[in-house]
Amino acid sequence: MTLLKMMPFGSDSAIVCVVCGTYLTFFLLEAFNSSGVTGVIAYTMVVTSNRIVSCTEMEAALEE
């Protein structure tokens, strides 16, 4: 996680890492019969903790 926080988000490699991490988190949690959507929201909050993210709007959009 610290590697992702240290990488500038303007670079393509950082975006690829975040997207791959999101998919990995979702599929691992779904494989263990956990909530993949909740895990992805938590993962996004951790990765972008130093940026403004409207998590409540994202959660509402995912629930619809």
pLDDT of residue 8: 52
What local confidence, expressed as pLDDT, does residue 31 receive?
85
For the chain, helix, strand, coil in percent to 5 are 70, 0, 30
- Supply the range of the domain harboring residue 36: 2-63
Residue by residue, pLDDT tens for the chain (64 residues) are 445 555 555 555 666 777 788 888 888 888 888 777 887 877 777 776 555 444 555 666 777 6
- pLDDT score, position 53: 46
CA-based nearest residue to 34, from 46, 42, 44, 26: 26
Q: From residue 17, give the alpha-carbon distance in Å to each of 4, 27, 47, 56.
A: 7, 15, 10, 23
Number of domains in the chain: 1
* Verdict on whether the full-model pTM lies above 0.75: no
